[in-house]
Structure 1
């Protein structure tokens, strides 16, 4: 039984078909390129994947991979987990889509590192790209996860004084917090925009054998994501404005759903 749609509605099935289609094409192309490189002596390697230089098959592969990640993220964002808060702000859907991208990146990092371990210690043929690819993906994952944490209100907060405040003072405190987040975002944008733009325009690389453009992509992404975090903070403020006063206790940290899942697992054994 499928879970109810959060925001896609009637578009859920078409998005699902696009996800499957792009995923199948991407898998076929990636496997095909891998087999061609391993057994047919194809010159298309991970080095060429960064520098297609007119290779149509590489362009198609990259488009299929990005399309697969995008539509999978959109489809997965149409459901919320048992411990996730329901989207209520005007920016929550964007953050949920970004969170699903980070979810996809995590197993990709595991696959890349597993491939490197097998290649290096089983076949004595380590790669030149696995470490940089892991760093690259982890950088994006970290930034996307920060936006998701803001949407879920799961950043570290100290509630001792906040819980003693009346609701009007809690609202004032929330406004000050959001204002400071926007000040930080503005300062980061003001101080980092020129450097980020320069790195992106000259496509600054990492300076290794594989030489991916990590500085050219991560630096602008930091600026972009802090702006999204600031927008999400404002979205949270608006969505929570008319909520009842919050009071927290250590019991709030107990995940009843996770405890129940563990109990069922132990009972099955």
Structure 2
């Protein structure tokens, strides 16, 4: 990422430019490779820049909905659904890193310097993307005790108020911390300050704001998509999965 900053948005300050360029040379995986087009980004950087949107578009287009997922999805929900799949892969990657660290630490007594920070880094994205996916799936915790007692038009009012509050919170969150997060943390590419020294502050903090914006947009999309749907029934009986109940009955009968 420092290579992209230096090529596309180079700092006007010579000291900051020198600081980021030195950081790029230290942290780059291929510092000996020359940059393309006279810049800092080498072929791997440009390949990653091209492949990321291609993978995102192809992944979103090939989404297959599982039977336990929210059935009333629309094409505009593909972003949240794709990031939900990415989250599942990240959970597997995080568990693999933790297992590898435990194996090295307790079997060979030779722990790594990077497993803890890498796990923390991945976990940050897991929590963020899970929030967006949960919003699309309508599976955040809600209390329906009073909501189910009122007529449908008043339920719409409650839905509008809750969505407006979320949008308002997101606006003030991004507005209040934009300079701190996107300039001091991201643009200056702040590192974590450990032996592994990953750019957790420079990547996770801006992603918090980006995902909050996506969650707010998804909340508005949910409000529009669910406006004319029949209200859901809540309660113990409504939470029972008929397939699971039938499987239990078959198991009891076979026993």
TM-score range, shorter chain: 0.7 to 0.9
SS of the aligned residue for 1:52 comes to coil
Q: Hey, what's the Cα distance between the residues in 2 that align with 1:264 and 1:108?
A: 37
Counterpart position of 2:111: 126
Q: Shift of residue 122 of structure 1?
A: 1.3
Alignment correspondent of 1:7: none
The 5 A counterparts of 1:88-167 are 88-89=73-74, 91-167=76-152
Deviation at 1:76, TM superposition (A): 9.2
Question: How many equivalent residue pairs?
Answer: 219
Structure 2: tracts of 5 or more residues without a match:
1-24, 34-41
8 Å contact from structure 1 (residues 132, 212) kept in 2: yes
CA distance in 2, matches of 1:49, 1:121: 31
- Rg comparison, structure with higher value: 2
Alignment match, 1:241? 227
- Give the Cα–Cα distance (whole angstroms) in 1 for the partners of residues 76 and 162 of structure 2: 18
Q: Verify the 8 A CA contact 2:61 2:78 in the aligned structure 1.
A: no
Pairwise CA distance, 1:73: 8.4
Residue 267 (structure 1) shift: 10
User: Aligned partners of 1:193, 1:120: CA distance in 2, in Å?
Assistant: 40
Provide the rounded CA distance (Å) in 2 between the counterparts of 1:255 and 1:78.
24
SS at 2:238 equivalent: helix
Aligned CA RMSD, in angstroms, stands at 3.4
Partner of 2:237: helix, strand, or coil? helix
1:232 aligns with 2:209: no
Stretch deviating more after TM superposition (180-189 or 70-79): 70-79
Q: Which moved more, 1:233-242 or 1:120-129?
A: 120-129
Asked if the contact 1:206–1:214 (Cα under 8 Å) also holds between the matched residues in 2, the reply is yes
For residues 56 and 75 of structure 2, the distance between their equivalents in structure 1, rounded to whole angstroms, comes to 21
**Which residue in the other structure is 1:252 paired with?**
238
Distance 1:158 1:51, change over 3 A: same
Q: Which runs of 5+ in 1 are unaligned?
A: 1-47
Deviation at 1:204? 0.6
Q: Secondary structure at the match of 1:144?
A: helix
